[in-house]
Amino acid sequence: MLFLWLLIPFSTSWAWAEDRAWTFDVGTDARVGGGQHAPFWLTANRHGLASLERNSAYLRTSVLRDYRTSQGFDWECGIDAAFGTLNNINIGIASDASGWGDPQFVLQQLYAGVRYDCWQLTLGSRERASQGKNALLTSGGMTWSGNARPIPQVRFGISDYTPVTFLFHDWLSVKGFVSYGRTTDDAFQRRFVVPARYALYTRGALFHEKSFFFRVGRRDVSPLSLEIGLEMNCQFGGELWEHDTRLDPSDADKRLYANPRRAADFLKALLPLSGGDGSTVSDQNNAAGNHFGSIHAALNYEPSEWQLRAYYEHYFDGRTGMTPWNKTRDMAGQPHVWIAYPWFDGLYGLEFSLPRNPIVSTIVVEYNTTRDQCGAIHHSSTATLPASIHGFACYYYNSSYPSYQHHGMTAGSPLLYSPLYNADHTLINTDTRLRALHLGISGDPTPALRYRLLGTFVRSWGSYMDPLPDPQNTLSALAELTCTPRTFAGWSATAALALDRSPRLGNNLGLQIGVKKTF
């Protein structure tokens, strides 16, 4: 079986396109290695398609039509499917002794969209990367990273910065969107928790995203520009289920409650409002659903031949941490608004694009810390203890939605390791308090060759709910080379070597080989 899979990357591929708006891709990808899992950077930020199995391979084909003009009416559509060993771990199917799982079919993308001038309406499942970061070199955004499978949505807004022509002489540009969707991993969640003694999972959860960004600056006047924005998501609706085999394994699954999904609840996802009848007590006291997001800021310096971008992303979970101030109560029960939650956590990054040269094209350096999470204490005011403090944010966790994941992969930063790594088959992010240093480098030695280097060091303290007795260190690295020979138009080949040294992920070493044909 291994021999047959290794032949796949070298099989003939073909493609066809009617005009330049259409592209037809056929490609293959194979990974082999040793260790507990495939190395981290062979699976992370790949839209949930790459398997955590140490040996895997798939055949992938897509037909896509992109927008051809930025003015007037235009349309887009796409279908993207893969067949192979695609995250066998995440549907609870054990691999055989050789480390290869059973093949599966996945419809990765299926979407259609229309655009009129800057306004876009998109329906379906489409891959999207982090906001404001280099998709190939970043460690990943905190609110959305492209680490998980795409979520089918209806999405409306402005995807690219558009000048507000009637104000400020084009110095101000804006972009943003609103979307509603539904997760598609009900079957995965149920099958994944089967081996667990006790686990929580959801069914039919709905998903909401929104963002608004503005940029101040004009390239024709000054190389400096400033960007500030808000990205905010919400999990709502759906059912919370309990899987408990400790008492009666034959009757292990029980629905705990169903969150409302009426028309008013869609509005409460858009404008975080308290829950009504049918909501949990927590949602009635706070906001309906699980609200979280990021505040972004970036400063760009872009002269003619090189660019420098400094960016910051502050993640918040609910109201806690969204602002440095919050309503609290003192020991006498008197309300106060004070600076109670300094922004200790954040993702800080620098992206440096050099003038054209054969050595280094782009360098990305990032530092991410999520260790504080507004402190380890959360207490609501009571008659016995009137004081209140709203810490203990517990990133990517909510009592109704135990994990921020889709098909087992963390939808936020992959550095907060995905539930697929949990040997006890619980659907929860166990490593959310960390400090990480990340380096990404890319270059083009020749017009036909491009390389990519990634290196990440993570120190994890576990989580506030499940702290580690001692911090754990993880080192993950990747070296990748892509060749696009001019003599074979449309062909590309990729080879990558990656490794992990980690008590959490395992000591893993893996090789990836892929071939793709594009017309």
The top-scoring range by mean pLDDT among 58-72, 250-264, 313-327, 356-370 is 356-370
* Conformational region of residue 376, where left means phi above 0, alpha means psi within -120 to 50, and beta covers everything else: alpha
Task: Read off the tokens for 259.
Answer: 């969150």
Q: Is the pLDDT of residue 394 over 70?
A: yes
Q: Which of 435, 428, 497 is nearest to 472 (CA)?
A: 435
What is the pLDDT, as a whole number, of residue 57?
92
Higher pLDDT, 118 or 13: 118
Burial class (CB in 10 A: 0-12, 13-18, 19+), 281: exposed
Contact present, 314 and 329 (Cβ < 8 Å) = no
Mean pLDDT (whole number) for 441-456: 97
| Fold of the CATH domain 2-518 | Porin (2.40.160)
Q: 284: part of which helix (H) or strand (E)?
A: helix 281-285
Separation between Cα atoms, residue 490 and residue 473, nearest integer Å: 41
The top-scoring range by mean pLDDT among 10-19, 182-191, 369-378 is 182-191
Task: Read off the tokens for 501.
Answer: 């040294």
What is the pLDDT, as a whole number, of residue 350?
98
Q: How many CA atoms lie within 13 A of 60 on its CB side?
A: 22
Q: Is the pLDDT of residue 251 over 90?
A: no
Contact present, 339 and 415 (Cβ < 8 Å) = no
Q: Structural domain boundaries of the chain?
A: 2-518
Separation between Cα atoms, residue 324 and residue 285, nearest integer Å: 21
Contact present, 453 and 498 (Cβ < 8 Å) = no
Mean pLDDT (whole number) for 15-34: 79
Mean pLDDT (whole number) for 163-169: 82
Q: pTM of the entire structure?
A: 0.89
Sign of CA dihedral 218, 220, 222, 225: positive
Cα→Cα distances 191→221, 407, 475, Å: 57, 11, 31
Q: Cβ atoms within 10 A of the Cβ of 11, count?
A: 10
| pLDDT, averaged across the chain | 87
